[in-house]
Amino acid sequence: MIWRKQFISAMFPKFLINNDNVKYIKDASLDRFSTFRIGGKAKHLFIVRDNINLLMVCYLSRLHNLKYKVIGLGANLLFDDDGYNGVIVVNKSDNIMIRDNHVFASSGASMGKLINRCKLRNLSGLENLSGIPSTVGGAVVNNLGAFDCSIADCIEQVECYKKSNLSKRIILKKDDCRFQYRDSIFKHKDYIITRVKFKLNYDNADEINNRITDIINKKSSSQPLNQHSAGSVFKRGKIIPAKVIDELRLKGEHIGGAMVSTKHAGFIVNTGNATSKDVLNLISKIKSQVKISYDEDLEEEIEFVHR
């Protein structure tokens, strides 16, 4: 395959498995892989559709001293305008298997697909996360939550690998994952998540469907889902970011193409031509005004991925 020659000069045949499930793009525009629609070019980008190839690309990147980052839907990321001088691995490994009320989901599966599959089997527990653009892996890393529910509530165990030893599978129980508000061990340790085991509850299909519909309607009415953003910009702390930003009358405030949403003050939206510099400068301005007015430091929830 062409990508073998472009990516690396020497390959090991034993790692070349199911190559039809790998797509390589050289100098890929990262705005295509971010819900913000912002970002320069990645030197190398792979789209992988199974865990074998996910681990293989990560292994080869490390072997050849290339920095790399695994992403899902790019919904919590802000890519640098200057791009990424390494390997971006887009994880689309999306196998889902259900045994009774236990669900095994590959980390590249979208939360929407997972929730819908569970609904068809009368399994409840993840409905509050409906309408959030995330893969299972990204949701676990960030302990995705909404309406007083988080993904950690339904997790039994996480299958993962340390970046320093991709040949050894590790199974972490829920308590080992150190879940906290929008946080987990995976944000601080170098792990690659491959599969997650959930334990859900049986419920009436109509009730499950009604909850999903209600959640999506609530999000649609209060969040700028029709505009490009990376979701909530700041974490909740002693203060509620959206509330204080609103009180400071910063809705509609903009720098370049980046604007504080007029619908939800916790979101920054790309009005069409925003750059990462626009977003970072707007974040800095918001944090400065909150600090002056409330003497509180806002902490970003989104991650800035730079060269």
Q: Exposed, middle or buried, 19 (CB in 10 Å: 0-12/13-18/19+)?
A: middle
Measured CA to CA, the distance from residue 135 to residue 137 in angstroms comes to 5
Measured CA to CA, the distance from residue 43 to residue 31 in angstroms comes to 14
Q: How far is CA 159 from the centre of its chain?
A: 17
84-91 and 68-71 beta bridge pairing: parallel
Contact 131, 215 (CB under 8 A): yes
Measured CA to CA, the distance from residue 66 to residue 64 in angstroms comes to 6
Contact 248, 290 (CB under 8 A): yes
Paired tokens of 112: 């929407």
From the CB of residue 162, how many other CB atoms can be counted at a distance below 10 Å? 14
Paired tokens of 136: 């299972």
What are 69's strand-pairing partners?
88
303-305 and 258-260 beta bridge pairing: unpaired
From the CB of residue 263, how many other CB atoms can be counted at a distance below 10 Å? 15
By C-alpha distance, which of 30, 48, 27, 52 is closest to 39? 30
Contact 186, 163 (CB under 8 A): no
- Residues assigned a catalytic role: 182, 232, 301
Q: Exposed, middle or buried, 272 (CB in 10 Å: 0-12/13-18/19+)?
A: exposed
